Amino acid sequence: IQLTQSPSSLSASVGDRITITCRASQSISIFLNWYQQIPGKAPKLLIYAASSLQSGVPSRFSGSGAGTDFTLTISGLQPEDFATYYCQQSYSALWTFGQGTKVEVK
């Protein structure tokens, strides 16, 4: 199962609302997670099962979608949100990740 993220990078300012999309090559129901990774650190789970907010993650992060099309939205970008974001499917035991979206300061 291939996951295609877009865009591969984006420039934004603090306070902006941004959306990242992830498209699966086949239906994966809601078996889709979103991660944030800061350079030098392990990935951090933000959203699981497409739209469920992981405990401790700020509510400005939200996820939606099912089947093949998914989105991650950050409403009100904060300085600590500049990072790389990955989608990941667990529909198949052979996990796959999107190629990542780097969110940079405009």
Partner 1 sequence: EVQLVESGGGLVQPGRSLRLSCAASGFKFEDYGMHWVRQAPGKGLEWVSGINWNSDTVDYADSVKGRFTISRDNANNSLHLQMNSLRSEDTAFYYCTKETGDTWGQGTLVTVSS
**Residues of the shown chain interacting with partner 1 in the complex, contacts defined by CB under 8 A:** 33, 35, 37, 42-45, 48, 54, 86, 88, 90, 93-100
Least separation in angstroms between CB 69 and partner 1: 20
Beta carbon nearer to partner 1, 63 or 76: 63
Beta carbon nearer to partner 1, 10 or 45: 45
Beta carbon nearer to partner 1, 51 or 96: 96
Q: How many helices (H) and strands (E) does the chain have?
A: 0, 11
Least separation in angstroms between CB 1 and partner 1: 11
CB 7 within 8 A of CB 71: no
Contacts of 56 (CB under 8 A, 6+ apart): none
Least separation in angstroms between CB 15 and partner 1: 28
3-class SS at 79? helix
Neighbours of 75 (CB within 10 A): 14
